[in-house]
Amino acid sequence: MTSLAKTVGPLDEGSQLPLYLQLQRALKAAIDAQVLAPEDALPAERDLATDFEVSRITVRKALDGLVAEGLLVRRQGSGNFVSARVEKNFAMLTSFSEDMRARGRTPRSVWLKRSTGTVTPQEALALRLSPGTPVYRFQRLRYADEAPMAIEFATLVATALPSLDSVGESLYEALERGGQRPTRALQRLRAVLLTAEQATLLKAREGDAGLLVERLGSLRDGQAIEFSQSYYRGDVYDFVAELSA
């Protein structure tokens, strides 16, 4: 890795801003400009101290601040890494693929399972469907660039799609092509602990913090067509909402 000091510029010892804050801002600028991309490892603290001509204490203080902000992740025995955190506006009805593209990330999915069936009691209650109503079920592992972000379980009323295989990279794009894209949704967010199976898929550890998002998507006329449950890695995903009085 080339010297970060050459890339972002040296620190100014004559500035009234403390050196650790200058270093913090320089590293944050490198992350924003993707000079340091998500999941990139930072140089060792001793190398940063040498590059920027500051003490190890100054470097550690700067890094501690970035870890506290969620911009860096400290992994025991491995060092400091740029966080792959993603912000999701909880008030916007957008797909995972749209969210990732809007943030300059490349979305992709690994299919775990596709199947047809009839509604379970839970799905019938959520979607307000009669017992025996046909549905399509989709299970996918969702990625941003090369980082696994979420495991998604989605149930769609079968009449919303022409076939089980009509869904490619984006479920919402497939629904939109048929004029069946939800225009409103009720979302519920809950903290969970990842199971061993979920942790393996998400490259996390069993018992790590996760976020479960349940979404009930409806058409303009109020007909519910989508019920999904998505398990997100708690260390890489933030949900935000703008509130007003």
Phi, psi of 217 (to 5 degrees): -100, 140
pLDDT of residue 113: 96
pLDDT of residue 197: 96
Rounded to 5°, the CA angle 70-229-185 comes to 90
Q: Looking at residue 159, what is its pLDDT?
A: 95
Would you state the pLDDT for residue 86?
65
Nearby residues of 229 by Cβ (< 8 Å), 6 or more positions away: 152, 153, 212, 213, 214
Q: Cα-flanking dihedrals φ and ψ of residue 242, to 5°?
A: -90, 125
Which pLDDT value is given to residue 70? 66
pTM of the model: 0.67
Spell out, as residue ranges, where the chain has pLDDT lower than 70: 1-2, 69-70, 84-90, 104, 242
What structural domains and CATH numbers belong to the chain? 4-82 (1.10.10.10), 86-240 (3.40.1410.10)
Q: State residue 1's pLDDT score.
A: 43
